[in-house]
């Protein structure tokens, strides 16, 4: 498990860039953290590092957004927000099944703690508040 301390938005984005450099098509990322912890900031940094040029926003109300990337291998970036979902069945109902086992796609799930049964090799990212407006970012299941 890798641990990082972020003191700013740019620090969080830099950690996301490090993670992006290690991703492969077919990877799933599960983000966990309290409201306002920086999950969406992390996802924006990840998307930018993979070549997503669209303005990324949290899909809290639409639940799932898919973006084309400028990456040579990872062609799709799927961003899911599970804040209003009740379980894995809801994920399939919103269309995530269209992206299962796609070797040119990365799936990033915010509020992943609301969903059980994610793939075993899911990369887990936990973002916690620290004193002085800092964040502790833990990355598990990925060699950094």
Contact (Cβ atoms closer than 8 angstroms) between residue 45 and residue 58? no
Domains detected in the chain: 2-140 (3.40.50.300)
pLDDT in tens, 53-89: 988 776 655 578 899 999 999 999 999 887 666 655 5
For 4-56, write each residue's pLDDT tens digit: 999 999 999 999 999 999 999 999 999 999 988 999 999 999 999 999 998 87
pTM greater than the 0.85 cutoff? yes
Rounded to an integer, what distance in angstroms lies between the CA atom of residue 135 and that of residue 6?
5
16: Cβ contacts below 8 Å, ≥ 6 apart: 42, 43, 44, 45, 46, 49
């Amino acid at each position: 498990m890798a641990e990082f301390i972020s003191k700013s938005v740019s620090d969080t984005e830099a950690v996301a860039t490090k993670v992006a450099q290690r991703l492969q098509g077919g990877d799933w990322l599960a983000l966990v953290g309290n409201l306002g912890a920086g999950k969406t900031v992390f996802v924006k940094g990840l998307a930018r590092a993979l070549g997503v040029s669209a303005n990324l926003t949290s899909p809290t109300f639409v639940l799932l957004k898919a973006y084309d990337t400028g990456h040579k291998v990872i062609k799709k970036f799927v961003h899911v927000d599970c804040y209003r979902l009740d379980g894995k069945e809801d994920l399939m109902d919103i269309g995530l099944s269209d992206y299962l086992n796609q070797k040119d796609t990365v799936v990033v799930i915010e509020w992943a703690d609301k969903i059980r049964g994610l793939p075993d090799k899911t990369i887990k990212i936990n973002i916690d508040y620290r004193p002085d407006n800092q964040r502790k970012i833990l990355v598990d299941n990925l060699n950094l």
